[in-house]
Structure 1
Amino acid sequence: MIKISYDIKIYRKQLEEILKENDTVVELGCHVGKTSEIISKTIKNGKLFALDNSPESIPKMNSLVKENKNIEFISGDVRLHDVLEQVVKKIDKCDVLSVDLGGGYHPDTTFKVYFIWASVLKPKTTLIRNRGLIDFVRSSETEEIIESKECWLESCGSEGIPPQIKEFELWSSKLNNNKKK
């Protein structure tokens, strides 16, 4: 299941509803940890990998990590291959992928980040908070029926980053090789 929302209250409510106490969660865009705190309390026996590259996230998240032993904070840009590779090496599964990169801004970046991370991690459930993606989905119409039964796009398989997305030179195909090890 992939859920897209914009309202932060709806996003957090959806997280609380789907999270289980043993889940492994990857949260992209944790900022200062308000949602991370909710996730951590809900997944008492699980693990949260919270990522953000904003300077203001560092002191807040470091403090939250001290209070919650099931959180690991990574200060890094989720568009970078090395950051994804760091997470891939630390986890053996991803139950929930939570993506909140600016809420209403940059739907193209949010989708690309979701696409790459989900293609590699293959989460059971994905939640995305982004107004632009909702606008796109609600405004779209097609006669074709293409569905994914997973929380990553099955049509992309395990190909990782498609070569035609040239602006994502930060990514590399070696991610798929790491997952096989």
Structure 2
Amino acid sequence: MIRIVYDINIYREVLREVLEPSHTVVELGCHVGNSTRIISDLVPEGRVVAVDNSPEAVEVMESLSRERDNVEFISGDVRLHETLEKVCTMIDSCDVLSVDLGGGYHPDTTFKVYFIWSSTLKPGVSIIRNRGLLDFVCSSITEESFTSRYGWLESSGDAGIPPRLREFKLWSSKIYKEGAHDRQKD
């Protein structure tokens, strides 16, 4: 399932609806951790990998990750493959990909980041907070109906995985969930 929202309260309500206690959540754009705290509370047996490159995030998020055993913070730019690579070395799978980049701005960047990260991590659920993407989806008219059963774009398969990370597969199985390719053929 892929959910696109804009309002921060709706975003957090969707988190409450989909998160389970043992989930692994990758949160892109955690900023100072207001949503991270909510996610952490909702996945007490799971883990949260929170990523942000804003200077305001570093001290607050490092403190939060010391306070909470299930929160790990990466100060990094989510547009860089090195950041994605680092997350891939930390987790075995991703249940929920939470993307909150720029709120209403930069829908093109938000979509590119979502596409690459979700193609690589194959989350079960993705939640994207961006008004530009929501405007586009809600104003679209089509005679066709497509539904994603997962949190990544099944029609794209592995097309979004950066070449370096495809090579990474040779020495780490962490990028690919067991059965991800089988689900793609369903």
The normalised TM-score by structure 1 is 0.91
The answer to whether structure 1 residue 173 and structure 2 residue 163 are counterparts is yes
Question: Which runs of no fewer than 5 residues in structure 1 stay unpaired?
Answer: 162-171
Deviation at 1:144? 2.9
Number of residue pairs matched? 171
- What's 1:71 paired with? 71
Partner SS state of residue 48, structure 1: strand
Partner SS state of residue 55, structure 2: coil
- What's 1:13 paired with? 13
Measured in 2, the distance between the counterparts of 1:4 and 1:157 equals 20
1:16-47 CA distance string (max 9 Å, x none): 11111100000000000000000001100101
Deviation at 1:145? 3.3
Regions of 4+ moved over 6 Å = none
- What's 2:142 paired with? 142
Question: Which runs of no fewer than 5 residues in structure 2 stay unpaired?
Answer: 173-186
Partner SS state of residue 147, structure 1: coil
Deviation at 1:176? 2.3
CA contact (8 A) 1:26 1:48 kept: yes
Measured in 1, the distance between the counterparts of 2:168 and 2:109 equals 24
1:45-98 CA distance string (max 9 Å, x none): 101000000000001101111111100000000000000000011111100000
The normalised TM-score by structure 2 is 0.88
The change in CA–CA distance for 1:19 and 1:179 in structure 2 (over 3 A counts) is farther
CA contact (8 A) 2:2 2:148 kept: no
CA RMSD of superposed structures (Å):
1.2
* Percent of aligned pairs sharing the same letter: 61
What is the identity, as a one-letter code, of the residue corresponding to 1:74? I
Residue correspondence of structure 1 range 91-102 to structure 2 within 5 A: 91-102=91-102
CA contact (8 A) 2:103 2:130 kept: yes
